[in-house]
Structure 1
């Protein structure tokens, strides 16, 4: 089968998708049973719209893993200790690393060119975070001595940002932590100014988790743009159950790498798909998930901005869906 990272055309993408679907039907027990439960004739699946998408909640109660694989590595969703957390077992972390690198390079640049800082307290305080693994890997590829994480030591972060004012810096931050940092900066505790600069890129990763009053994504971006004195705030969209990332370079418009696609399903009819511009629930095709499930029905609401399923917006959560650490702000 063609390497997912060599996909260039829509036909190549479809060919790999259909091959992946048939492989996972035979080798991912939970997915195979799910397809059979829906009484779907596998031989008749010949387009993206006919593929069954596994409800993301299945990762909470089932081990979704290639029957030919044995692995102890897994990522776990964030949440309270009372919640039943999702587990995504990882058969090939090298594949995840390649996906991380190529997505970042496609949308932002080579990791080697940046200093990476992480303001991700809720994720650092949990184990088995796919987000921390991703940022760790980018820091490793960067190799810069200034790379590092910050919990709640905002003064230290502010000082370092100003020390690094002449270097290209990526600051990954969960939404509430970025807002907390700006609250600190604007308080009397801050003795330093935040230097406006062109070479600082803020990448927010979503997630208020009840830590702040809910706001729309547009409101969040406006606050962050003003606070960090930058024209654009970037965003990253992924989750525990995926091995690929979509990036927004501003305006809450995300784009998928060539091995990832988004379909927007009708909330009432999961096999009926919305056209570009109409809101529905997000389905994700992630071909890097070859050894788990590449076809995930999420509980996020969104809409396509182009018919080729590569540009989309995330608008919030479906009502009554579980609160998840990776959930984005309600819009």
Structure 2
């Protein structure tokens, strides 16, 4: 199997090297990850017959709710990250074999798009995540705040947040869950200096869902910034994509996104076509690197992608094959 060091050394834009690494990891996970192995059997895919990147099947993300998507058998994970869920919903569980691997992934992605963390201060406005256990986002933010050397977590003390940011001479990133940023914008409308405002998606049932462009305009007007950055991540992934504005995300070198036909999850679409989003995250070494998400969007020829929302009736055909 490809080493984790080799995964993070993949050259940006080298599709041939990425394809070789993905196929090598697929062959390992097709045997070592029981839910993925069973899924391949049920859809009639023989791993030895998979010869190209496009032939690799993607595991429906819903199976992280019902199965232990993990390659390491009796070796316990160092952490189990869980997704946020509204009342009555089941959370996804992602066993993380190595927290060092997770840290290598999120630090590498951050450096790719924002450079050395030490030049930034990171202020995290993540109230619903802080109130529960198992948040990969809180773990990432905590370590990045330490790398930055300044910033911190703020639950709902907006006065302290704005006071501390105003006294901070460094360039700043304000990372917030969408509804908390909206509350801050509505109640204070502070004009932020030398600050990147970064939303991490989702109203989580606290506020009405708005089209992304409309929501970003509310934040831009309130905060006096030209663009709203975004972070795209989830409990089932190890890596993150980032948008510097316009809801267009870019991936680190070890991550790819492709679109699929919403009605036929095994049919991959050409660039520019709207469909369900499939993600290859090679940093998902010890779970499954090939994930069929419930997000819809468009992937551009250069590999960047736009998230347009969730797929209606998200139990996509094929998802129920392993759900008992």
Helix, strand or coil for the counterpart of 1:262?
strand
Question: How many angstroms apart in 2 are the aligned matches of 1:215 and 1:251?
Answer: 15
What does residue 110 of structure 1 align with? 116
CA RMSD of aligned residues (A): 1.4
Pair 1:64-2:39 in alignment: no
**1:91 alignment partner, one of 93, 97, 105:** 97
Partner of 1:38: 43
Out of 255, 259, 263, the position equivalent to 1:264 is 259
User: Could you say what secondary structure the match of 2:25 adopts?
Assistant: helix
CA positional deviation for 1:12: 0.7
Cα distance in 2 for partners of 1:106, 1:171 equals 18
Q: Is the 8 A contact 1:29 1:67 kept in 2?
A: no
The residue that corresponds to 1:5 in the other structure is: 8
The answer as to 2:24 corresponding to 1:19 is yes
Q: Aligned-pair distance for 1:41?
A: 2.0
Shift in Å, 1:196:
4.2
Deviation for aligned residue 1:149: 1.1
Structure 1 residue ranges, 4+ long, deviating more than 6 angstroms after superposition: none
Indicate which of 140, 163, 178 corresponds to 1:175: 178
| TM-aligned CA deviation for residue 67 of structure 1 | 3.3
May I ask how many residue pairs the two structures share in their alignment? 309
Contact 2:186/2:222 (8 A) holds in 1: no
Q: What is the Cα deviation at residue 139 of structure 1?
A: 1.0
State the distance in 2 between where 1:143 and 1:70 align: 32
Distance 1:139 1:39 in 2: 46
Shift of 1:299: 0.3
Gaps of 5+ in 2: 316-324
- In 1: Cα distance, 2:285 partner to 2:132 partner: 26
Specify the SS of the correspondent of 1:282: strand
1:32-75, Cα deviation, whole Å (9 max, x unpaired): 11111111121221222211111101011111111343225100
1:140-289, aligned counterparts within 5 Å?
A: 140-144=146-150, 147-164=151-168, 166-186=169-189, 194-197=190-193, 199-289=194-284
Provide structure 1 residue ranges, at least 5 long, that are not aligned to the other structure: 187-193, 323-331
1:127-159 deviations in Å (ceiling 9; x for gaps): 110100110110121222xx2111111122122
